[in-house]
Structure 1
Amino acid sequence: MTDVPILLSAAQTAARLPYPALLQEIVRLLGDASVQVPQRLVQPLAGGGSLFVMPASDSRVAMTKLITFTPANAGTARATIQGDVVVFDIASGERRLVLDGPTVTARRTAAVSLLAAQRLAPNTRGPLLIVGAGVQGKAHLEAFAEVLQVREVVIASRSGSSAQALVQHAQALGLQARAVGDANAALADCPLAVTCTPAHGVVLDRLPRRDAFISAVGAFTPQMVELGPDLCCHFAQQGAVFVDTADASHEAGDLLQAGLDVGRFATLADVLVQGTQRPAGPVLFKSCGWAGWDLAAARTALAP
């Protein structure tokens, strides 16, 4: 063992997960036959929260993400996602790292959206519309600015103060940024969009540009929704729909509530393995989360 700390803070966790390296590790993981990801356990809690237990392993590393999701914390000083990612060495059984769970969740989710945009978005220049100005909105802003070199962002949020805070963060990064009150109207000017809301209701339902790419990350249960059913059906009929993993078939609330057969849509792994060409029409990428993405983050954090 070395003197490297095992228990990492949010800032230390983020430093171990630079987006270029995390992207590369996600691609490698999707081609790694040793990866095993059992179905995650979601334990409902009193008051409307949930406890998530998400294990995964490969031939060298085993990890479990243990987090709580507390929707009632939205808009308060408390985070909606709290917890840790515990990483073990398989050969020795030693605990190698304890990563900050919300930081891992934010960065690996943004990296997955970023990978989908790199491979599938008809137009990656931006502007980028971000609906939801919380932790996920900030992570997606930083990821798309760093890797895709997006220089202009438009922020929409139910909270004007949160939207303005994210605008100021974007400007501090050297980006052009503004807040808007109508996310649907902004779609006409934004070929890139991500929805990062608590998914309590529809936030986008206007039909998109022909060169649009939307990554919808907020809804990860059948009851949650961010996108209107007509919008989802438009993508399925006039463009293309992709999902992060096959688990979306029973988790993607937006698509399920639109009456779509989610099992027929290609996954991100399918895109990489089959070398899927960039679609000509609008693209919807539905991300529900997967412990495999957390394992990719753990592998990245362990790299020398």
Structure 2
Amino acid sequence: MLILSNNDVASLLSSLNCPQILDILDVLARALADDTVLQPPRQSFKHPQPASATTLVMPTLASSSSSFKIVSLDTSPESKNTSPKGSLLLFSLDGSLDAVLNATEITGFRTALASMIPVLLRFFPSLVCGKYEQLADGKGPSLKTALIFGAGLQAEWAAKLLLILCAHNKLYSPRIIIVNRSLDRARELIKKVLVWYEEKILHTTDSIPTFESYQLNRCTPQLMLLISEADAIFCCTPSRDPLFSAVELRSASALTKTRYISAIGSYTPDMKEIQPDMLVDKVLKFSTIVDTFEGCKVESGEIIGAYELLSRSDGPDVSEFGVSEVGVLWNKAKENRFCREIMENVFYKSVGTGAMDLAVAKELVKIVRDGNCGTYGVEVPF
């Protein structure tokens, strides 16, 4: 049995090169489209008062292995660390325990990595496959400015993965703006990512990324300008109040381009990182993509809110609101079929699935046992 601590997982993930990350992304995307994987609904338990913690339990069964994930989150309003803490257990088909991984870093990584699937299809078609690049007319829209809401692990990995993809594709590094309620935490994240970039990426490129930080209090004119300038927006917060709405995207400057928006930090019906009206706005005409439709229709406040708007007699036409699963789109692209919807305004929603944990964890365990990235963890009899 292999045991990987959080330091092991974090160091291993930070050591991966772009081809390795693209391989893991491919496995992850295919797992999201695999309808043979059994994923019972995620169970959520609130701890007895006065504790302000929630524990999530996620079992997953695939054809050759299974996993069991249990994590807890501090849900108090004053909490500064909302990253889940817990463990991910991998089992062989015969039920023997194959590996135990600390779940904190891997959860942030796999969620951010899944949000990069539409990024590849939209901005980096050459990294999907040669035929898809031709179908996309050689290139996608430009990714020059990325806006990231949040300063936790999801935000960190969103920034790192963007920089890895740009460096590998020999492109300029994008302007990355970190928006967070705590300006100090935003600046700490920027320092951490820059140290990692100098150690792991700088030798492969001459480009130095441009980082900015902005404090989130309310949607000020300056923030509205940043939103209108962004080519991609990554929402990585467990927010119960929308970070922005369709109004900010309907300004004259914002309507000069389309953009990619992901919401990967919220995971319960009462959380909303964007206003649901954005998804059914007839001017913006968003294409909506999810990690799992079954999960999002009961756990995503944004998707639930959009369908509530559609159910009203005076609301938009439900036939105009289509939802695609990201794994299906990836398989479509790998089969040399062009994903035209990915080139317009795109909204990606993730609530996370056990299949994501199982797929990524198995790949990491394989890399460790192959010994291609150094020595991590410890093997013990069990």
TM over 0.5, shorter chain: yes
Contact 2:278 2:284 in 1 (8 A): no
Deviation of the 1:200 alpha carbon: 2.5
Output the CA distance in 2 between the equivalents of 1:224 and 1:143: 25
**If you compute each CA radius of gyration, which structure gives the higher value, 1 or 2?**
2
Q: How much has 1:169 moved relative to structure 2? A: 2.8
For 1:84, the aligned partner's letter is S
CA displacement at 1:73 relative to structure 2 = 7.4
1:178 to 196, 205, 212: 212
Return the offset for 1:8: 1.1
Map of 1:1-304 to 2, 5 A cutoff? 6-17=2-13, 18=16, 19-30=21-32, 32=34, 34-46=36-48, 47-72=51-76, 75-76=79-80, 80-91=83-94, 93-120=95-122, 123=141, 125-149=143-167, 150-172=173-195, 173=197, 174-181=208-215, 183-205=223-245, 206-207=248-249, 209=255, 210-234=257-281, 238-246=285-293, 247-258=295-306, 259=308, 264-275=322-333, 277-279=339-341, 280-303=343-366, 304=370
Q: CA separation of 1:175/1:169 partners in 2, compared to 1, >3 Å: closer, same or farther?
A: farther
Offset at 1:54?
0.6
1:13-61 Cα deviation digits (max 9, x unpaired): 1345443332122134245564222221112223443211111122222
* 1:120-140 deviation per Cα after TM superposition (whole angstroms, max 9, x unaligned): 456352311101111211111
Q: CA deviation at 1:216?
A: 0.6
Structure 1 stretch displaced more, 44-53 or 152-161: 44-53
**Hey, what's the Cα distance between the residues in 1 that align with 2:282 and 2:274?**
11
What SS is found at the alignment partner of 1:72? Answer: coil
- Against the structure 1 CA distance between its residues 15 and 37, is the aligned structure 2 distance closer, same or farther, given a 3 Å change threshold? farther
Structure-2 change in CA distance of 1:35 and 1:16 (3 Å): farther
Normalised TM-score (structure 1): 0.88
Distance in 2 (alpha carbons) for counterparts of 1:171 and 1:126: 18
Provide the C-alpha distance between the structure 1 equivalents of 2:241 and 2:190, rounded to a whole number of angstroms: 24
Structure 2 residue identity aligned to 1:238: K
Distance in structure 2 (CA, Å) of the matches to 1:222 and 1:134: 21
Q: Do the aligned partners of residues 98 and 114 (structure 1) sit closer, same or farther apart at CA in structure 2, a change above 3 Å counting?
A: same
1:236 to 1:28, Cα distance in 2 relative to 1, 3 A: farther
CA contact (8 A) 1:235 1:284 kept: no
Give ranges in structure 2 of 5+ residues lacking alignment: 124-139, 168-172, 198-207, 216-221, 311-317, 371-382
Report deviation, 1:189.
Answer: 1.5
* 1:90 partner letter: L
Quote the Cα distance in structure 2 between the aligned partners of 1:72 and 1:59.
39
> Partners of 1:163 and 1:177 in 2: how far apart?
10
User: What are the superposed Cα offsets for residues 264-292 of structure 1, whole Å, 9 maximum, x if unpaired?
Assistant: 41111231344451434211111111111
Task: Supply the AA of the counterpart residue of 2:355.
Answer: G
Q: 1:302 & 1:85 partners in 2: Cα distance?
A: 12
Separation in 2 of the partners of 1:297 and 1:59? Answer: 16
Letter in 2 for 1:225: K
Distance 2:29 2:73 in 1: 27
Asked if structure 2 preserves the Cα contact closer than 8 Å seen for 1:123 and 1:192, the reply is no
Q: Match for 1:249: what amino acid?
A: K
- Aligned pair in 2 of structure 1 residues 183, 135: CA closer, same or farther (>3 Å)? farther
RMSD over aligned Cα atoms:
2.5
- More deviation, 120-129/151-160: 120-129
- Superposed CA deviations along residues 214-272 of structure 1, whole A, max 9, x for unmatched, are 01112211111110233233389613111111111111102322435699411112313
Rounded Cα–Cα distance in structure 2 between residues aligned with 1:49 and 1:235: 40
Matched to 2:361, the amino acid is: A
Structure 1 residues 48 and 265: CA distance shift in structure 2, 3 A: farther
Bigger CA drift: 228-237 or 180-189? 228-237
Compare 148-157 and 111-120 and name the one that shifted more: 148-157
TM-score (norm 2): 0.71
